[in-house]
Structure formats: C-alpha cells, structure tokens
Amino acid sequence: MDFELDQEQQMLAKTVSDFAKNESPVERFRKLRDDGTGYDPAVWRKMGELGWLGVPFVESVGGFGGSFIECAIVLENLATTLVPEPYLASVVLGGMTLARAGNATQHESYLTPMIEGESTLALAYSEAQSRYDVSAIETTATPDGSGYRLLGEKVWVLNGHRADHLIVSAKASGGVTLFVVPREAEGVNVTVAKTIDGQEAAFIKLDNVAVADDARLGEEGSGAVVLDRTMDYAAAAAVAEGVGIATTMLQMTVDYLGTREQFGVKIGSFQALQHRAVDMYAESELLRSISMASMVRADEEDPRTRRGDISAAKYQLATGGIWVAQQSLQLHGGIGVTDEHDIGLYFKRMYALNALFGDQEHHVARFASEPSSF
Amino acid sequence: MHAVMNLTFTEEEDAFRQEVRAWMQEAMPEGLRRAAQGAGGLNFEESVEWHKLLYAKGWIAPHWPKELGGTGWDATRRFIFNEELEMVGALRISVLGLSMVGPLIMQFGTEAQKQRFLPKILRGEEFWCQGYSEPNAGSDLASLRMTAEDAGDHFIVNGQKTWTSWAQNADWIFCLVRTDPAAAKKQNGITFLLVDLKTPGVDVKPMLTLGHAPAFCDTFFDNVKVPKENIVGGLNQGWTVAKALLGHERTLLALIGPSRHVLHKLKHIASTKTVNRRPMLEDPKWRAKIARLEMRFRAHLMVSYRALSDQQKGKMPGPEASILKLVGTKLIQELTELAMEVMGENSLTWYNEGVCAPIEESIGPYFCYERSATIYGGSNEIQRNVIAKMILQLPSR
C-alpha cells in the first residue's frame, strides 16, 4: 500500500502546476474564450516539448512509458487555472484510443505528431441518441471499393473543430469500427457549438466520407471494446481534473471566508459557514482519494478490477464534487454569480465534467450491475 | 517514469489476513461467534472470554510495544487485524484499557504505575472505564466540576461522571478532575487521576441505551479517598494528558471494519428477500441503493488507506485523516439504516428468538447503538469546529 507519488511524479506535478500558475492563469482562459481563439497551438507545441503529451504512451511511439497516473497528474494541475489546451480531448480521448486500436504505421502517422505537439486529435464517438452508450450509434461504414464510405452525425466532439484528425466510430458489417478521418476530408461538415464551460465542441456531419482501408483502426467490430476502455480512461481523467477544480474552489472559498467581513467580523468566523467549509473539505478529500484509486485502476486490463473504483470516483465527482462547486458559489454570495469572478468558471467546468463520460445514474447503474461489486 | 503508487496489499499481507481469519475461525467458540453476530453483540462475560483467547494467542494488544506484550506488527498488519476482528463482530472488550488508558500510562505514567496497571490490562484481569463527561460538561469538557481536594497524601474526590461506558463491569476509572479551581484558564486546573471503583463512596448506576445494552453509566463520587500516587502526568497537567489521546488510533473511528461488516450483512439479508416476486438483489432499484453506499464506502476506504500508507512509513497521517471520523460515522448510520430498510417489516423485531433470522435480529439494536457514533469521541459538530480551526485555519471570533 503506497499512495505517495514518486520523485519524478512529484516533479511533474510541480512543473505543471507552476506552468498553470505562471504562464496560464485564469485570465488567459478568459481572454481566449472571449476573443474566440479557444487555445493556442504554440502552447500545445510547448506541452509537447515538455513531454506532457506523451506521458502515458510507450517509448516506441514517442511517449515516455509512464502510466495513466502521470496523465492524471497533468490534468489535475492544468485544471487549477482552467488551462484550455485540449489535453483531455487529444491525449486521453484521441490518443489512448489510437494507442490501443492502431497499428505501428497509424501510430507513426497520427499519434507521434500529436505527442510532439505538432497536431491534435479528437474522438467522435457520441451521437444524439446514444447517451453514454458507445455502441448505440447509427453512423454507418459501407464498403466502397477497397475502402469505406462513412455516413452519419456525431455530437459534442471535444476539439472536433480544431483537431487535425478525427477518430470516428461507425457501424460496419462486423460491428462498431473505428476510423481515422482528416478533419478537412471531403464530406466532413463541422459546426461549432459553444459549451457551458466557455469552451467549444463540434457537431460533425459525415456525408458519405470516403476513407481508405488503412484508415481503419483494428478489425471490423473491434471498436466497442476499445471505446469502452477509452471511456474508463476518460472518466478517470475527468475525475482527476475534478480534483483540481474542487481543491481550487475550496481554497478560493476558504480564502474568501477569511477576508470578507460582515457584521463587523470575518464571515469565516461564523460556525454555520465553518461547518459547511469542513464538509466541503471532506468531500474534496474523498474525491481526491477515490481519484487516486481510479487513476491506478485505469490501466488494469481486467474490467472487473478496473470499473468499480472508476465508477465510484465518477460518482463522487457527481455527488461530492458537484456539491463542493455549489457551496463554493453559495459562500461567495452575489459576486460568485458574476462572470467577472473566477469561481463561476470553475463551477461550470465541474458541471461539464459531470456531464461527460457517464453521469451519476450511469455509473450507479454500472456499478450495481457488476457482480464483482456484490 | 514508472508508477509506484500501489493500492493493494502485498502477498505477505494477504497471507497474514488469511492467517488471522483462519485462526479466528478455529479459535472462536461457536457460542461466541453466534453471540457476536446476534442482537446486542458480545456481553461482558463473552467479551472477557474472547479477550483471554486473544491474550493466550499473543494478539490482544497489537499496538503496544513488543516488550510490553505487543505483537511487533507494522501499521498495515494492525489495520488488517482490526478489520478482521471487526468483521467477526468481536472487538476486544478492553478498548478503554488497551487503547486509551494503557498508552497514556506508557507515555505519562511512573514506572510503578506501568508495572501495577499494564500487565493486568493485557491479561484481562482488570477492566477500565472513562470518567470525562459530566452532566454539565459534554462538548465543553474543560468546564468539568468534579473536585479532588488535597488532603495530604491523598485527594478527597466529589462529583459525578456520566457516559462512563461499561463502569458496571469495570474495576478502575480514569478521570479528569478539578484540582485547581482558581486556575486562570480552566484547562490548567485539571488532573488525570486513576480511581479504584471498589473504593468506598463510589456508586455506579448503569442505564439502558437505545440499543438496549446497558453500556452507559452514571458514576457518583461521594468523599472518595484517592492516593496521590494515582495521578498520571503530574498535578494540573490533565488536559495535556487527555489531548495526547486525540492523536492515538484516530483511524479506529473510521469504522472501516464495521462498515464492511454491515454491507455484507445487508446484502446477505437482501439475498433472502423478494421484490415483485423476484430476488431483491436482482432488483435494479435496490442494487442501485446499495451501490451508492458501497461507492461511498470505497472513497472513504481510500482516505483511510492514505492514512495507513503514511503510518506504514512511520509518518503521521496527513490532514485528510481528520475527516475519517466525520465520514465514517455518518456512513455506518446510513448503512445500518439501509439494512433496516432492506428488512422491511422485519425491522420491527427487538431481541426475539426464533422470530427472524439471527442476522436480522442483530440489525435493529446495532442501528440504535450507532446513533451514538456521531456523538461519541468528540461529536461531529465539535470535530467540524476543530477541523475548521486547525486545518482550514478559518478565523475565530
């Protein structure tokens, strides 16, 4: 039993946290949100140079042979100042899917450049009706010559409007299958949609997009298992980010309670608010603790040992994490409900994380249906 | 980069768990096992029997130094041992002696006190109770009023202690008494004093608890003569001695073993019921209800594993360990409440024989007993006051 990060991991955490604080404070997120730029490819390249984009991948594709723990460390610390570069979308959703499903040539063409910060990826898996079920899709892949034609519509594709390559799920005769599609390919129609947390995502129409056979990742029908696995990584990633959000919100709130005065005293001296703050602390430590379990479990091959803690972690985000966000806003009073104060930006990010990769009911049902947990 | 973070027990630790479990299976007489799992748990005589079995095995005081009768186990093995003990529903009776006054005597006691008291605690020959709370000194413990007047080589003690759990069976009581009523700060006028309950003038009145076990008592002191050699830690140093205890075994109040135990029980009970003519455990709604608490338990378990990981390295647990009591006591209440809910009408049963399954008979009394969990050991409200001040460093008024 050992919950301590090793020296390299601690150093990684510090480097990322320093970067977030010094080079990408919340004002940067705000500015890029307001001018419509979203994020900066130069910063993405720098993340590649620093090695952050390759932490979970093997050396042979240009990665650093770490584990998902390193990924979670980066995500948690980037979240502390809402760094907008598409780490979750590109490294976790796109990268982890490609790493598991692709062959060496595909890794070299799509994964390695992403790790170097030269390009970004997106995963187009969700459809209007599918609601957390990666197999409930209607997009089709119809054989056409030696390749396929893709027809369908994907929703809420994170980084889908900026990614160089999309990984798209579609039903082929063998079942759910994954394909790599250049975003600029003919027939790929991207509509940008704003998200609650001040970011953007894409709705993507695939209008008989022609893809060659070598764009297929793995065998026909192998996509569902891979996506299922990616969703576990993504849920663990969202929780890691949620830890960064919750701890930051708690600290901001405790600071506010210690400075704001009413009735001639610091409001943090009121017992009702102290007790609330302690309960927030408890929820955020529960979230951090189960997040540690989920980031370790994410790399487990056996779903019976992997899923339980990941669902438990996402459930804690949906309950405790959301509660911390709500109370942080409440204790800030009126200023918390203005766009000009940062606390609300974190609040909205927590809700975005809550809605992605399985909500509370989804994970309760999944946990409850696993015989291993009973 | 290679991950060293590791959330599992080692093979040796798992083997240790098996060894403990196997021994408990074998060494615990059937009667004790039934009693431990039944309504009200072990009574005093049964607890003493269990204490002596553990003592004979050398396992009665894992957290004591080896030379005083401890086992020499590391923090992880102690954690595993406690969990297994709690899983059979049979904690040691002498928690107040073994985990509270024992370690304090080791830390603050004289050589004579150590030799006089520790071996008898270990062998189960003397049992202890705690005299802290008074009718008007609960959460505000420092306002206690029981007096110890200087009468040369001894004190004359007068007053009342309450919630003196197990006093009706105990031989000794460790008390906080007021020795300097004039002290400017009320904490500075308190002494930690050991009192023999057989001394003339001591009167113990047990009271029934909601769980119906006579666990609590009122203990009255009427001109009780107590030799000064029974002071632990020096005159007027009682508050310091009492505070030292707060750091000891804080993780015990996380109630990991009891929560796991109730979770097992409630699933077992659910497996014997039907909903809409189908097994209750196959009903998605009930499964979801249980799942929510089990997921909460997992998060709580990870907080206590973090504390354990620190202790294993010989470090003090981090600040997050301060939430273990808050979260664990609330969770055990929610779990016992869900067990009642799963039982449906059977949750009406109260100390019957042959009415419900014995496992169901155990739930109601335990549910009632655990209403005290959020009150004992520093009420959860007091815990929040302390965490707000010590950890979040919020301003005081």
Tokens read off for B294? 């089990």
Is B298 in Cβ contact with A1 (below 8 Å)?
no
Confidence of residue B251 (pLDDT cuts 50, 70, 90): low
Does pLDDT of A109 surpass 70?
A: yes
Long-range (24+ apart) CB contacts under 8 A made by B281-284 are B281/A374, B284/A365, B284/A368, B284/A369
Confidence of residue B248 (pLDDT cuts 50, 70, 90): low
pLDDT at A12: 96
pLDDT at A368: 94
> A342-352, pLDDT tens digit by residue?
999 999 999 99
The residue behind tokens 């520093």 is B378
Residues with Cβ < 8 Å from B250, sequence gap 6 or more? B317, B321, B322, B324, B325
- Residues of chain A with pLDDT > 90, as a percent, come to 96
Is A287 in Cβ contact with B395 (below 8 Å)?
no
Does pLDDT of B3 surpass 80?
A: no
pLDDT at B148: 97
Q: Which of B17, B148, B29, B151 is nearest to B87 (CA)?
A: B17
Calpha distance A236→A347 (Å, rounded): 19
Of B83, B126, B149, B249, catalytic: B249
Q: What is the ipTM score, two decimals? A: 0.95
Mean pLDDT of B133-137: 93
> A235-248, pLDDT tens digit by residue?
999 999 999 999 99
pLDDT at B14: 95
Residues with Cβ < 8 Å from B13, sequence gap 6 or more? A1, B76, B77, B80
- Domains of chain A with bracketed CATH: 7-119 (1.10.540.10), 123-221 (2.40.110.10), 224-373 (1.20.140.10)
Confidence of residue B87 (pLDDT cuts 50, 70, 90): confident
At position A156, the amino acid (one-letter code) is W
Query: How is chain A split among helix, strand and coil, in percent rounded to 5?
Result: 55, 15, 25
Mean pLDDT of A143-158: 97
pLDDT at B93: 67
Tell me which CATH code domain B128-237 carries.
2.40.110.10
Mean pLDDT of A111-118: 98
Tokens read off for A54? 């390759």
Calpha distance A130→A126 (Å, rounded): 6
CATH fold, domain B249-390, is Butyryl-CoA Dehydrogenase, subunit A; domain 3 (1.20.140)
Count Cβ atoms below 10 Å from residue A46 Cβ, excluding itself.
Answer: 15
Mean pLDDT of chain A: 96
Does pLDDT of B345 surpass 60?
A: yes
CB A183 within 8 A of CB A204: no
pLDDT at B376: 86
pLDDT at B2: 44
pLDDT at B377: 84
Mean pLDDT of A78-107: 98
Residues with Cβ < 8 Å from A374, sequence gap 6 or more? A368, B267, B281, B287, B290
Is B8 in Cβ contact with A2 (below 8 Å)?
no
pLDDT at B262: 94
> B326-335, pLDDT tens digit by residue?
999 999 999 9
Does pLDDT of B249 surpass 60?
A: no
Residue in chain A nearest B387 by alpha carbon:
A278
Residues with Cβ < 8 Å from B4, sequence gap 6 or more? A2, A4, A6
Chain A CB contacts of B299 under 8 Å are: 286-287, 289-290, 312-313, 316, 320
Rounded to the nearest angstrom, the minimum Cα separation between A300 and chain B is 12
Chain A CB contacts of B310 under 8 Å are: 3
Mean pLDDT of B89-96: 75
Q: Where in chain B is the domain with CATH 1.20.140.10?
A: 249-390
Q: Where in chain B is the domain with CATH 2.40.110.10?
A: 128-237
- Residues of chain A with pLDDT > 70, as a percent, come to 99
> B363-397, pLDDT tens digit by residue?
999 999 999 999 988 899 999 999 999 999 999 98
Is B385 in Cβ contact with A271 (below 8 Å)?
yes
Is A365 in Cβ contact with B284 (below 8 Å)?
yes
Active site residue B381: no
> B183-209, pLDDT tens digit by residue?
999 999 999 999 999 999 999 999 888
Mean pLDDT of chain B: 92
Calpha distance A122→A108 (Å, rounded): 17
Q: Which of A217, A230, A180 is nearest to A103 (CA)?
A: A217
Local structure of residue B172 (DSSP, 8 states) = E
Local structure of residue B137 (DSSP, 8 states) = B
Confidence of residue A102 (pLDDT cuts 50, 70, 90): very high
Confidence of residue B109 (pLDDT cuts 50, 70, 90): very high
Chain B CB contacts of A64 under 8 Å are: 1
The residue behind tokens 């759990």 is B165
Is A278 in Cβ contact with B384 (below 8 Å)?
yes
Select the residue of A69, A269, A373 nearest B397 (Cβ to Cβ). Answer: A269
pTM for this structure?
A: 0.94
Does pLDDT of B1 surpass 50?
A: no
Confidence of residue A233 (pLDDT cuts 50, 70, 90): very high
Chain B CB contacts of A261 under 8 Å are: none
Top-confidence residue, B36 or B299 = B299
